[in-house]
């Protein structure tokens, strides 16, 4: 009788342990594969819808955290093996489905913040090609030259074509104290700081789908913002083409 009771207790213990382990595994799987985005749409223009999913690994993060160690992009087409790609994680990932070149096939734009404030971001463009997710290059300026000039001015030259002159006279006291200038004369050659894209968004330019980028232009440090560079780009099936450039200067509010 004792033996039968012991066997029954052992069996009950094993069943309970298995159930607990199964629940833990399910919870862990849910955390490491949190569904961030899901949409069913035709991205290849073949009259068949694909399921697009973005999942994130937030296994060691609080439940309401927007940080993911790793991201998984998955595109599932009927009767085909899913196209899967892992991407470096970050904060507050967002996925946009867009047609960047007006060819009726849609691309995927993934935006991931590199810090919690969202001041630094990483951007990825993906396209489904023969059931594989292929990363497309991002817009990038071919050449940027910049330097401070005498008389509290600075010069920014883009692609050796467009030149912008900043009047920094209202910052003269600040720059004199820091030793950049002495009575309006530049002490040594110093370049401006052009930060990476803080924004890439879909827009229109001359009746074409375009991408508009925004970058911070800074003086001696990133926080010393003197303006923003805005650029408009279109895709020509092989590369991004710069269509328009605009510089917005920022007034100095220091003493």
List pLDDT tens digits, range 103-137.
889 999 999 999 888 888 999 999 999 889 999 98
In DSSP notation, 117-148 reads: TSSSEEEEEEEEETTEEEEEPPP--S-EEEEE
Rounded to 5 degrees, φ, ψ at 28 are -65, -40
Residues of the chain with CATH 2.40.128: 32-133
What percent of the chain is helix, strand and coil (3-state, nearest 5)? Answer: 15, 50, 35
Report which DSSP code applies to 179: T
How much is the average pLDDT of 178-207? 95
pLDDT score, position 26: 40
pLDDT score, position 4: 53
Going by pLDDT thresholds of 50, 70 and 90, the confidence category of residue 6 is very low
How much is the average pLDDT of 224-239? 92
Mean pLDDT of the chain: 86
Write the pLDDT tens digit of every residue in 41-94.
999 999 999 999 999 998 887 777 889 999 999 999 887 899 999 999 999 999
Going by pLDDT thresholds of 50, 70 and 90, the confidence category of residue 211 is very high
pLDDT score, position 1: 46
pLDDT score, position 93: 96
Residue 8, pLDDT > 80, answer no
pLDDT score, position 28: 40
Q: What is the pTM of this model?
A: 0.79
Instruction: Tally Cβ neighbours within 10 Å of residue 247.
Output: 17
Write the pLDDT tens digit of every residue in 140-156.
988 999 999 999 999 99
Residue 9, pLDDT > 80, answer no
Instruction: Give the Cα separation of 43 and 47 in Å (integer).
Output: 9
Q: State CA 89 to chain mean position distance.
A: 10
CATH numeric code, 32-133: 2.40.128
pLDDT score, position 164: 95
Q: Which residues contact 66 (CB under 8 A, 6 or more apart)?
A: 91, 92
Listed range (2-6, 171-175, 184-188) with the worst mean pLDDT: 2-6
Q: Over the range 81-93, which residues count as b (16 or more CB within 10 Å of their CB) and which as e? A: eebebebebbbeb
Intra-chain end-to-end CA distance of the chain, in Å: 91
User: Which is nearest to 253 in space by CA: 225, 234, 231?
Assistant: 225
Going by pLDDT thresholds of 50, 70 and 90, the confidence category of residue 13 is very low
Instruction: Give the Cα separation of 51 and 88 in Å (integer).
Output: 21
pLDDT score, position 127: 93
**Degrees to nearest 5, angle at CA 85 with 66 and 72:** 20
User: Which is nearest to 181 in space by CA: 156, 163, 216, 154?
Assistant: 154
Instruction: Give the Cα separation of 87 and 90 in Å (integer).
Output: 9
């Amino acid at each position: 009788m004792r033996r039968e009771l012991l066997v029954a207790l052992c069996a009950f213990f094993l069943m309970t342990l298995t159930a607990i382990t199964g629940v833990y595994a399910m919870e862990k799987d849910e955390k490491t594969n949190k569904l961030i985005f899901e949409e069913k749409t035709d991205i290849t223009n073949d009259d068949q819808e694909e399921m697009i999913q973005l999942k994130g690994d937030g296994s060691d993060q609080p439940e309401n955290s927007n940080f993911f160690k790793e991201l998984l992009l998955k595109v599932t087409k009927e009767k085909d093996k899913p196209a899967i790609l892992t991407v470096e994680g970050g904060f507050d990932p967002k996925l946009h489905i867009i047609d960047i070149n007006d060819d009726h096939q849609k691309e995927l734009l993934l935006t991931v913040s590199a810090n919690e404030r969202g001041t630094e971001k990483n951007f990825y463009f993906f396209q489904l090609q023969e059931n594989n997710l292929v990363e497309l290059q991002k817009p990038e300026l071919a050449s940027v030259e910049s330097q401070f000039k005498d008389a509290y001015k600075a010069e920014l030259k883009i692609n050796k074509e467009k030149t912008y002159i900043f009047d920094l006279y209202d910052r003269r006291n600040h720059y004199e104290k820091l030793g950049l200038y002495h009575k309006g004369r530049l002490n040594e050659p110093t370049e401006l700081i052009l930060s990476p894209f803080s924004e890439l968004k879909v827009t229109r330019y001359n009746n074409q789908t375009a991408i508009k980028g925004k970058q911070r232009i800074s003086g001696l440090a990133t926080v010393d913002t003197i303006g923003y560079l805005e650029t408009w780009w279109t895709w020509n099936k092989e590369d991004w083409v710069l269509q328009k450039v605009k510089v917005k200067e920022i007034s100095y509010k220091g003493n």
